[in-house]
Structure 1
Amino acid sequence: MNEKYQTLIFDLDDTLLNFKSAEKQALQALFSDLKVKADSAALQAFSVYNQSLWKKLEKKEITRSQLFEQRFQIFFKNYYQLEVSGLKCSQQYLSYLANGHEEIKGATQMLTQLKTENKQLFLATNGVAFVQEQRLKDSNLVSFFDQIFVSEKVGCEKPDPRFFAYLFEHSNALPQKTAMVGDSLSSDILGGSKAGIDTFWFNPTQTDNFTQVQPTYQISALDEILKYA
Structure 2
Amino acid sequence: MKYSTIFFDLDDTILDTQQNSKDAISEIYTDYKYDNYFPTFDDFYTRYQSVNLHLWDLYEQNLIGKDHLMSERFSKTLEGYTDITKEQSLDINQDFMGRVSSRKNIINGAKEILDYLQPRYNMYVLSNGFQEVQDKKIHNAGVGHYFKKVILSDQVGKNKPHPIIFDYALQQAGVSKADCIMIGDNINTDIIGAKNSGMDQVWFNPKKVADSNGISPSYTIESLDELRCIL
Q: Structure 2 CA distance, aligned partners of 1:212 and 1:66?
A: 32
Q: Structure 2 CA distance, aligned partners of 1:183 and 1:106?
A: 15
Q: Structure 2 CA distance, aligned partners of 1:24 and 1:149?
A: 25
Q: Structure 2 CA distance, aligned partners of 1:44 and 1:217?
A: 32
Q: Which amino acid in the other structure matches residue 86 of structure 1?
A: S
Match of 2:221 in 1: 219
SS of alignment partner, residue 180 of structure 1: strand
**Which residues of 2 match residues 150-189 of structure 1 at below 5 A?**
150-189=152-191
User: 1:214 offset after TM fit, Å?
Assistant: 3.0
**Residue 131 of structure 1, aligned match among 126, 130, 133:** 133
Q: Structure 1 CA distance, aligned partners of 2:206 and 2:225?
A: 12
**Residue 99 of structure 2, aligned match among 96, 100, 116:** 96
Contact 2:60 2:160 in 1 (8 A): yes
User: 1:81 offset after TM fit, Å?
Assistant: 3.1
Q: Which amino acid in the other structure matches residue 84 of structure 2?
A: E
Match of 2:17 in 1: 19
> Runs in 1 of length 4+ with deviation above 6 angstroms?
none
Match of 1:39 in 2: 41
TM-score, reference length from structure 2: 0.92
Which stretches in structure 2 are left out of the alignment for 5+ residues?
A: none
Which stretches in structure 1 are left out of the alignment for 5+ residues?
A: none
- Comparing 194-203 and 123-132, the one that deviates more: 123-132
**Which residues of 2 match residues 33-112 of structure 1 at below 5 A?**
33-37=31-35, 39-78=41-80, 80-84=81-85, 85-112=88-115
SS of alignment partner, residue 170 of structure 1: helix
SS of alignment partner, residue 123 of structure 2: strand
TM-score, reference length from structure 1: 0.93
Q: Structure 2 CA distance, aligned partners of 1:130 and 1:25?
A: 19
Deviations 1:134-179 (A, max 9, x none): 1111111111101111111222211111111111122222210101
Q: How many residues align?
A: 225
Q: Structure 2 CA distance, aligned partners of 1:187 and 1:162?
A: 13
